[in-house]
Chains A and B, each alone.
Chain A
Amino acid sequence: MLKKLLLTSSALALTVAVVGSVASAADTKYTIPTIVKISGIQWFDRMEQGVKKFAQATGMNAYQVGPPKADAQIQVQIIEDQIAKGVHALTVVPFSPEALEPVLKKARDKGIKVISHEAAGLKNVDYDLEAFSNAAYGEHFMKALAACMKEKGEYATFVGSLTSKSHNEWVDAAIAYQKKNYPNMKMVGSKNETFDDQQQAYAKTQELLRAFPNVRGFEGSASTDVAGIGLALEERGMSKDTCVVGTSLPSISTQYLETGAVDMISFWDPADAAYAMDTIAVDLLNGKKPAAGQDLKVPGYGKITIEGNVIYGQAWIDVTKENASKYPF
């Protein structure tokens, strides 16, 4: 009940944010399904808000479908079904990008426009849309951490796993940025692995405080990292003297943002990403290719950059204690 209410209110907030800013593309009514990794989880529920918003604002037949469980094969079947229905464009968030190449090729051979999300490197698409480049996102964390730490002191970094490509790109970019710009800051230890487990982040933070008593900055990558870090610091009574930033969601971290144990979290809004994908799809159908620097009229996608067939926004959203209640997911 509460969740529904929150979702509705967030949809309203989004409506306010984007209403009126939509270029009514053409008179043709296109059918554009969004195929997500899995249905029924908060992240993709939020994405569906963006799809519905787009349908409402433009009159296009945009809707979202997805498998009941994360399974590449079911996702392929769903795409096959959509192709058979004679859709104009497909927007897709692949579960396993490689597994989709054949079916996406089939779609494109039939003249269907294909836009993917979180799948840079996918070949059989017109464009892949990324909320941001990982390097820019990582540097933005270091700027926030440095500002909080007054550009001096020791800091530690966390990744979900050393094999997680995006986490490591964020953290590596942050470290490189620190080395270049903040000579009085120093990373202690190596990148700590948490296996997306809050308890691991918690125990590792306690250990870091033992090993490096002067560590005052922390950067998390998995959504539960900052919560584990925040819990450990709060129990120590160190919230005021430490700076914690990282990727997370308000539903996980709000209680630590409120007490000041966590200072800033960032994420990207899947609703905005869906809206941007649909916008690109309609443009393509109308014969208009996306151009570098173009404004998609979606928050965070105001000045896109393009590398090959990958489109980047700067669509990270920074959340602190002040605006946490605006993002109920």
Chain B
Amino acid sequence: MPGTSRPSLLARIDFGRNETLLVLVILAFSAVTALVAPSFLSLPTLFDLLRNSIVMGIFAIGVLLVLISGGIDVSFTGIAVFSLYTTTLILTRLGVPVPWWAAFLLSIAIGTALGLVNALFIAGFGLPTLIVTLGTLSVIRGVLLTFVGSTLISNLPVGLKEFARLVMIRGTTAEGYFFSLPWAFAALVGVVAVTWVLLQYTTLGRSIFAIGGSPESARRIGIPVRAVQTFVYAYVGALAGLAGIIHASLARVANPFDLVGLEMSVIAAVVLGGARLAGGYGTITGTLLGVVLIVLVNTSLILLGIPSTWQMVVIGALILVGTGVPAWQARRTALRAG
């Protein structure tokens, strides 16, 4: 009988995989939240969740690439805020209406340039990635606040205002209020698609895995390690520029004090998603699940009735467990194999 020879659905699920674990945690968390507060199960909740995942999701994809390549980047929030603010300032000074995509291109260009600064120190001089990006984070932010500007721009250029109003899906609740998903969400989808193709189907993508696994071996089989590293940090810079300008557009303000401070949550999301800090391994699915989990927990603690004083503790504990369990599992597997 075919039914007996095939393993059951449950048995086919690989519980050792990080993604499986994350999906289960997300489902369990949602179930508990829905039990405590039935209002959780609604379309507005889903749309809010997706809307609040856009910027963090784009950041996380960039961080994933860096982690796979065996490095770490903590400067991307600084790059993002520098790009968004400088772009807004330039467009405001110009005074001529510029379409939103031109603003996006400018911000991405500035982000890429700043990413190349990281690349210069990391690929060019071979300095440790954490040290370099910690340094560039403060330099970039310092230059921004000292020389570019430290005042909020709440009257955004027309193009950015228009972009924020582009709504992909809109709905009305029973009480007659709205919920919507902005087109900015398509940017995250696009970034995911491009990065997925890059990692799966291109030599460049496979080289990123290779240099993260073992830079020496990669070099010996002829991978241009420095060139690949340069690409990685420029790419992260570009994504940061994109995430930054989207953030400003959706928040309707260019705030030079924004975003910096978010980097640890993003890195935590990526590590929760199974990427190894040691390099050479990480998946986009896992990363996105990690982002969803962090955003979900971050925006459900009031619903669960957890007082503000405990919210930080809960989030910290979740990260500890989420990253600790896979690490412990990996060690057990290694011990059994050895």
Which residues of chain A have a CB within 8 Å of any CB of chain B? 3, 40-42, 68-69, 162, 189-193, 195-199, 202-204, 206-208, 210-211, 213, 224, 227-228, 231, 235-238, 251-252, 254-255
Distance to closest chain A CB from B301 (angstroms): 8
Asked whether A41 and B303 contact (CB < 8 A) given A192-B308, A235-B178, the answer is no
Give a binary string over B237-253; 1 marks a CB under 8 Å from any A CB, 0 the rest: 00000000001000111
- Whether the pair A231, B251 counts as a contact (CB closer than 8 A) is yes
- Whether the pair A202, B251 counts as a contact (CB closer than 8 A) is yes
Distance to closest chain B CB from A66 (angstroms): 14
Decide yes or no whether B309 CB sits under 8 A from chain A: yes
- Whether the pair A41, B308 counts as a contact (CB closer than 8 A) is no
Decide yes or no whether B311 CB sits under 8 A from chain A: yes
- Whether the pair B302, A254 counts as a contact (CB closer than 8 A) is no
**Which of chain B's residues 216-256 have a Cβ closer than 8 Å to chain A?**
247, 251-253, 255
- Whether the pair B150, A193 counts as a contact (CB closer than 8 A) is no
- Whether the pair A237, B178 counts as a contact (CB closer than 8 A) is yes
- Whether the pair A190, B299 counts as a contact (CB closer than 8 A) is no
Distance to closest chain B CB from A138 (angstroms): 18
Asked whether A203 and B253 contact (CB < 8 A) given A236-B178, A252-B152, the answer is no
Distance, CA A116 to CA B179, complexed state (A): 48
- Whether the pair A198, B180 counts as a contact (CB closer than 8 A) is no
B42: chain A residues within 8 A (beta carbon)? 210
Interface SS majority for chain B: loop
A162: chain B residues within 8 A (beta carbon)? 308-309
A195: chain B residues within 8 A (beta carbon)? 261
Q: In the complex, which of the residues B175, B258, B303, B307 contacts A190, with contact meaning CB atoms closer than 8 Å?
A: B307
Which of B48, B176, B261, B307 has the most chain A CB atoms inside 10 A of its CB? B48
Give a binary string over B305-325; 1 marks a CB under 8 Å from any A CB, 0 the rest: 101110100000000000000
Asked whether A192 and B251 contact (CB < 8 A) given A41-B151, A197-B258, A210-B44, the answer is no
Give a binary string over B117-160; 1 marks a CB under 8 Å from any A CB, 0 the rest: 00000000000000000000000000000100011101100000
- Whether the pair B308, A191 counts as a contact (CB closer than 8 A) is yes
Distance to closest chain B CB from A2 (angstroms): 9
Decide yes or no whether B30 CB sits under 8 A from chain A: no
Q: Known contacts A199-B52, A210-B303; can you find 13 more A-B pairs with CB under 8 A? A: A68-B146, A196-B257, A198-B251, A198-B253, A198-B255, A199-B251, A199-B258, A202-B251, A203-B298, A206-B48, A211-B39, A227-B253, A236-B179
Which residues of chain B have a CB within 8 Å of any CB of chain A? 37, 39-40, 42, 44-45, 48, 52, 146, 150-152, 154-155, 175-180, 247, 251-253, 255, 257-258, 261, 298-300, 302-303, 305, 307-309, 311
Distance to closest chain A CB from B46 (angstroms): 11
Provide a sorted-by-A list of 11 A–B residue pairs whose CB atoms are within 8 angstroms: A40-B150, A41-B150, A68-B146, A69-B146, A190-B309, A198-B253, A198-B255, A198-B258, A204-B302, A208-B302, A235-B178
Asked whether A42 and B151 contact (CB < 8 A) given A207-B302, A236-B177, A236-B178, the answer is yes
- Whether the pair B37, A231 counts as a contact (CB closer than 8 A) is no
Distance to closest chain A CB from B5 (angstroms): 47
Residue of B nearest to A255 (CB): B154
B251: chain A residues within 8 A (beta carbon)? 198-199, 202, 228, 231
- Whether the pair B177, A255 counts as a contact (CB closer than 8 A) is no
Residue of B nearest to A2 (CB): B92
Distance, CA A238 to CA B175, complexed state (A): 10
B311: chain A residues within 8 A (beta carbon)? 193
Residue of A nearest to B172 (CB): A237
Residue of A nearest to B312 (CB): A193
A197: chain B residues within 8 A (beta carbon)? 258, 261
Distance, CA A68 to CA B147, complexed state (A): 11
Distance, CA A162 to CA B302, complexed state (A): 15
Which of B39, B44, B251, B300 has the most chain A CB atoms inside 10 A of its CB? B251
Residue of B nearest to A227 (CB): B253
Distance, CA A69 to CA B146, complexed state (A): 8
Q: In the complex, which of the residues A207, A238, A255 contacts B299, with contact meaning CB atoms closer than 8 Å?
A: A207
Distance, CA A255 to CA B160, complexed state (A): 15
B261: chain A residues within 8 A (beta carbon)? 195, 197
Distance, CA A323 to CA B143, complexed state (A): 35
Distance, CA A254 to CA B156, complexed state (A): 13
Q: In the complex, which of the residues B150, B151, B305 contacts A251, with contact meaning CB atoms closer than 8 Å?
A: B151
A238: chain B residues within 8 A (beta carbon)? 177
Distance, CA A231 to CA B299, complexed state (A): 16
- Whether the pair A251, B298 counts as a contact (CB closer than 8 A) is no
Distance to closest chain A CB from B221 (angstroms): 44
- Whether the pair B151, A3 counts as a contact (CB closer than 8 A) is yes
Distance to closest chain B CB from A319 (angstroms): 14
B175: chain A residues within 8 A (beta carbon)? 213
Distance to closest chain B CB from A91 (angstroms): 23
- Whether the pair B40, A210 counts as a contact (CB closer than 8 A) is yes
B150: chain A residues within 8 A (beta carbon)? 40-41
A228: chain B residues within 8 A (beta carbon)? 251
- Whether the pair B299, A203 counts as a contact (CB closer than 8 A) is yes
- Whether the pair B154, A254 counts as a contact (CB closer than 8 A) is yes
- Whether the pair A210, B39 counts as a contact (CB closer than 8 A) is yes
Distance, CA A236 to CA B177, complexed state (A): 5
B151: chain A residues within 8 A (beta carbon)? 3, 41-42, 251
Distance, CA A210 to CA B33, complexed state (A): 11
A68: chain B residues within 8 A (beta carbon)? 146
Residue of B nearest to A253 (CB): B154
Distance, CA A204 to CA B150, complexed state (A): 26
Q: In the complex, which of the residues A42, A207, A254 contacts B303, with contact meaning CB atoms closer than 8 Å?
A: A207
Distance to closest chain B CB from A306 (angstroms): 35
Distance, CA A195 to CA B156, complexed state (A): 23
Distance to closest chain B CB from A42 (angstroms): 5
Residue of A nearest to B44 (CB): A210
- Whether the pair B255, A203 counts as a contact (CB closer than 8 A) is no
